[in-house]
Structure 1
Amino acid sequence: MVGDHTVMFAKNMEILEPTHRSISHESLAEGCIQSIKWVAARKDGEVHSMSEVLGLC
């Protein structure tokens, strides 16, 4: 395992834990390269969030 990430959402005595696991560096590198290309295409000089990179906002 090269990446193991869990997010915990807890409320009302219940817990939801979605987990993401990566078994190769290649999958992590692919996301990194896509993010670099997205940022390089911006010429506005602003700081951007991952939500923007992923198209979530």
Structure 2
Amino acid sequence: RHELAAPRLPHGEKHGSGCVLSAAIAGQLALGQPLAMACQLAKAYTTRVLASNDTLLGYHY
């Protein structure tokens, strides 16, 4: 069993954050990462997007 937890960010919700996470997981799997590592890397990426600004949309980098 694996769990990815994080504190809630102060900027609230971002539009498309679930899609960002699922696409990042799929991308990491396509690069050959094992599932658990793909999820960890995708979670880190999604957290950066969510923290990127305080608007409804996040910056992807």
Structures share fold, TM-score greater than 0.5:
no
Q: TM-score range by the shorter chain?
A: 0.3 to 0.5
Give the structure with the higher percent helix: 2
Structure with greater contact order relative to length (CA < 8 Å, sep ≥ 6): 2
Give the structure with the higher percent strand: 1
In the superposition, the TM-score normalised over structure 2's length comes to 0.35
Please tell me whether Structure 1 or Structure 2 has the larger radius of gyration of its CA atoms.
1
In the superposition, the TM-score normalised over structure 1's length comes to 0.36
